[in-house]
Amino acid sequence: LYLAEDIPTVDSFMDAITNVFHSGDEEMDYPDPYVVMSFAGCEVKSTVMHCSDNPEWYQILKISSQFPSMCERIKIQIRDCGHIGSDKIICTRFASVTALSCLENDGFLPTFGPCFVNIYGAPLENNELQDKFKDMNTGKVEGVAYRGRVLMQLKTSLSELTDRAVDAMIEEDRMYANKFMRKRKYRIYGTFYSATLICSSLVDSP
């Protein structure tokens, strides 16, 4: 798990009241995101990055499981650590083990990335009092609103079980991710040639 960009704030009704009493605190406008990864009944959490919409974790999340497994999907969920009440789910993505591996004789174990993964959820205009699209955040229904992107990588290794579920990433791996951070500015040009069957009541002149 490397980093994330453009993570939104998902305020509940109680958080909105809290923000009123901290109206002069700009940090209250940012989320406190962390990542939860689960597979085959095992779960591991990253550290909470306080007051950051562009968090940088640079952590290795480890899940010990037998392989091959009867479970098909790896669950990756981003949550916002709540100031009052329970934590809020920002978005949920699933990774298919079958799509990320090849179990033939000359195949490979589940492998992915490093790559940016776009994340989607419910429209941010809906709060908990009128959020009928909350299943989009939990992954039950496909999300429609962009909620940022996460730079991540998946590796599978056959090794002994370990008690350390979270490790810090070494400096060499941190530097390796820099080449994926390059951004380029570009322009999109479109050309409009002609149109037909336009209703005459919609235009004032030819």
163: CATH: 2.60.40.150
Q: Which residues are CB-contacts of 161 (< 8 A; sequence separation ≥ 6)?
A: 64
- For residue 20, the model assigns a pLDDT of 46
Whether residue 83 has pLDDT greater than 60: yes
Of residues 65 and 131, the one with the higher pLDDT is 65
Q: Work out how many domains the chain is built from and give that number.
A: 1
Strand 88-96 to 3-5 pairing: unpaired
How far apart CA 132 and CA 122 sit, in angstroms, is: 9
Which residue's structure tokens are 């570009």? Answer: 186
Strand-pairing partners, residue 168, are 59
- For residue 186, the model assigns a pLDDT of 83
- For residue 129, the model assigns a pLDDT of 44
**Per the structure block, which two tokens stand in for 184?**
């380029």
Q: Which residues are CB-contacts of 53 (< 8 A; sequence separation ≥ 6)?
A: 5, 6, 7, 8, 9, 30, 31, 148
Q: What is the pTM of this model?
A: 0.77
Strand-pairing partners, residue 43, are 38
How far apart CA 5 and CA 3 sit, in angstroms, is: 7
Burial of 123 (0-12, 13-18, 19+ CB in 10 A): exposed
Domain boundaries, position 111 = 3-202
- For residue 47, the model assigns a pLDDT of 93
Return the number of other C-beta atoms located less than 10 Å from residue 201's C-beta.
5
- For residue 200, the model assigns a pLDDT of 77
User: What average pLDDT does the segment 62-69 reach?
Assistant: 80
Return the number of other C-beta atoms located less than 10 Å from residue 43's C-beta.
14
